[in-house]
Amino acid sequence: MSAPLVNVSLDAIQIGQPLPFALKGSDGQLLAQKGFVIRSRSDLEELAGKGFAFFIDVAESEAYQRAYKNKLHSLLRKDKTLGQIADVQITPTDLQTDSVEIDQGPPDWLELQIQANALLRDCQSPNFLKRLDWLYRQLDQYTQHNPDGALFALFHLSSSRPQLYSATHAMLVSVMGVLAARDVLNWTPAQVKLLSLAALTMNLSMVELQDRLAMQMDAPAPAQRRQIDSHAQRSVELLEKLGVSDPAWLEAVADHHSAPGGRLADKTVGQRMARLIQRADTFAARLAPRASREASSQASAMQASYFDENKAVDEAGAALIKAVGIYSPGAYVKLCTHEIAVVMRRGSNTSTPRVAVVLNREGLATVEPTIRDTSQREYRIVGGVAHKEVKVQLNLQRMLALTAAPASDRIW
């Protein structure tokens, strides 16, 4: 039995470019193979004039719908008018969701958040692993280029856009784990990549549920609780169906909630990854607000990761805190000057980051963020501040520029 067909707009077929899908007639007859180049508009119009309508099969139409939704999200985010949104057209370029080209320009974290959300919700796609590799490489490039900016953006998005919580949380845990594994624990590049992939896919079987729970006022219902309790094993099963066979990756996903503490050297590679993911998962989850609860304090999140189940220092947790800082980029702090600032960059040690003042000592928003070096005694941090207590809207792109500022930036 042939796959069901759906109609595709004539305007979605780009002239002079290889077709990203096989083009068929209403009866399933092949009109043009994937990769065929249609040389002129008149060729298409001639076919249409002969009564041909253009169709693609269901699998390719899913890519069409995904591209359409992503483009709508992008236009909404850019504050386009309703008329412009209504006229949106999908081109073959938009449909190439399995592209492995890495964006070399400035990070667009809002767009990456949307892309990651679409990817993780579409784990049945035959191109899933290829697209997952693209997401890993995009995150890796951003983290290599500006790790403070990556942490700032993901902590900010985790706090401000809970409707896309699952994808944002997965990326944040991935980046935190990578920094700890690469810069503190000195894992091999292959192990670091596996850790990142495991973190991105740890909740693959409950992405939609996780987003719903972030917006849900009530405690999880019994059916939801059963999904939560079984999600690790179900995620492993999904990965196996997709062709993942690496034992360390699968073990890390299977045990990312149950990995025991203890010396990392005594564990398998998969168990080490699982423990580090567990610590990062705990840290990031506590700092993310939900509809049903407020975010924990930075100190509380740090302590929950730094100490193990027996209240002893956890090796994986300690590596994590050393990598991201006691006050991580994106966290709000109070200075001894009575100013409120947001952490922009990690400092020479975990407790002395560079910060940008957003509320002056009178509690008024600053016109221009003033950079402070908290290693200087006159600007030392006296404590953390909850996000909900800071009544100021940050411009993400503007603040990200400060995370990449050179060491010679102006200190007042």
Q: List per-residue pLDDT tens for the chain, 412 residues long.
A: 445 565 666 656 766 656 666 777 777 777 777 667 677 777 777 766 666 677 766 455 555 555 555 555 555 555 555 555 445 544 444 444 444 566 666 788 988 888 898 889 888 888 899 999 999 999 999 999 999 999 999 999 988 877 789 999 999 999 999 999 999 999 999 999 999 999 999 999 999 899 888 888 899 999 999 999 999 999 999 999 999 999 999 999 999 999 888 899 999 999 999 999 999 999 999 888 787 788 877 788 888 898 988 889 999 999 999 999 999 999 999 999 999 999 999 988 888 999 999 999 998 999 888 899 999 999 999 998 888 888 888 888 889 988 875 544 433 3
Q: Edge-to-edge, what's the strand order for the sheet holding 332-335?
A: 365-373, 354-359, 340-345, 332-335, 381-385
Q: How many CB atoms lie within 10 A of CB 357?
A: 21
Structure tokens at 68: 């359409």
Which of 204, 211, 148 is CA-nearest to residue 175? 148
What b-and-e string marks burial along 55-81, b requiring 16 or more CB atoms within 10 Å of the CB?
bbbeebbbbbebbbebbebbbeeeeee
CATH tag, 5-62: 3.90.105
In this predicted structure, what is the pLDDT of residue 106?
A: 77
> Tokens representing 15?
């002239």
pLDDT attached to residue 287: 86
Q: Are 56 and 24 in contact (CB under 8 A)?
A: yes
- Nearest by Cα to 3 from 56, 66, 68: 56
The predicted pLDDT at position 94 comes to: 46
Q: What is the reported pLDDT for 90?
A: 43
Task: Give Cβ neighbours of residue 41 (< 8 Å, ≥ 6 apart).
Answer: 15
Provide the residue ranges of all domains of the chain, joining segments of one domain with +.
Answer: 5-62, 64-92, 101-324, 332-403
3-state class of 340 per DSSP?
Answer: strand
Chain CA centroid to CA 208, Å: 15
Backbone angles phi, psi at 369, to 5 degrees: -60, 130
The reply to whether domains 5-62 and 101-324 share a CATH topology is: no
CA R_g for the chain: 24
The pLDDT value recorded for residue 265 is 92
Strand partners, 342: 332, 356
**What's the fold here for domain 101-324?**
Hypothetical protein af1432 (1.10.3210)
Separation between Cα atoms, residue 334 and residue 343, nearest integer Å = 10
- CA torsion 260-265-266-271 (nearest 10°) is 40
Task: Report how far residue 317's alpha carbon sits from residue 261's, in angstroms, rounded to the nearest whole number.
Answer: 10
The answer to whether residues 384 and 155 touch, using CB atoms and an 8 Å cutoff, is no
In the prediction, which pLDDT does 407 show?
Answer: 43
